């Protein structure tokens, strides 16, 4: 607080310091506590934000790893599906060959044996 002195000296301003009253000291302590509480809360918010950012980064990295694994698995599935299809085609061709071979054996040997047996029966009867 500023006060003017009127004691005949040149009219200069003087600053008069007041000692803190118990009310002012109490108010200062409350302000200090509020400041500390505010700083503590801000620090806790910063810590929470840092932790959330770290968790988010870790989740992103994990998601990227899973994405790479998924793409690799999809590629492997496509390879296996192509192999399965190739083996299925080979199996179908093998079945066709077996049927053709069976038919050829049946036509050449079994039917000829039946014809020979029928011819021999006719000769015996005749």
Q: What is the pLDDT of residues 49-69, one digit of tens each?
A: 999 999 999 999 999 999 999
**Residue 33 located in a structural domain:** yes
Task: Compute the distance between CA of residue 57 and CA of residue 63 in angstroms, rounded to an integer.
Answer: 10
pLDDT < 50: residue spans in the chain = 1-9
**Residue 17 located in a structural domain:** yes
Instruction: Decide: residue 12, CB within 10 A, 0-12 exposed, 13-18 middle, 19+ buried.
Output: exposed
Could you list the beta-strand ranges (E) of 1-124. 2-4, 13-15
**Residue 120 located in a structural domain:** no
Rounded to two decimals, the pTM is 0.49
How many domains does the chain contain in total?
1
**Residue 20 located in a structural domain:** yes
| Residue count of the chain | 126
**Residue 103 located in a structural domain:** no
What's the pLDDT at 118? 66
The token pair at 52 is: 């959330």
**Residue 109 located in a structural domain:** no
Q: Do the beta carbons of residue 15 and residue 2 sit within 8 Å?
A: yes
What's the pLDDT at 64? 98
**Residue 51 located in a structural domain:** yes
The token pair at 75 is: 């590629």
| Domain span holding position 36 | 2-90
**Residue 117 located in a structural domain:** no
What's the pLDDT at 67? 98
Task: Compute the distance between CA of residue 126 and CA of residue 115 in angstroms, rounded to an integer.
Answer: 16
Task: Compute the distance between CA of residue 96 and CA of residue 89 in angstroms, rounded to an integer.
Answer: 11
């Amino acid at each position: 607080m500023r006060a003017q002195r009127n004691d005949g000296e040149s009219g200069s301003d003087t600053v008069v310091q007041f000692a803190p009253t118990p009310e002012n000291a109490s108010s200062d302590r409350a302000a200090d506590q509020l400041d500390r509480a505010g700083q503590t809360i801000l620090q806790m918010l910063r810590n929470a934000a840092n932790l959330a950012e770290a968790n988010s980064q870790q989740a992103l990295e994990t998601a990227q790893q899973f994405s790479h694994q998924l793409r690799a698995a999809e590629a492997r599935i496509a390879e296996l599906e192509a192999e399965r299809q190739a083996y299925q085609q080979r199996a179908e061709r093998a079945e066709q060959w077996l049927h053709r071979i069976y038919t050829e054996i049946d036509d050449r040997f079994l039917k000829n044996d039946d014809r020979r047996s029928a011819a021999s029966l006719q000769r015996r009867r005749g």
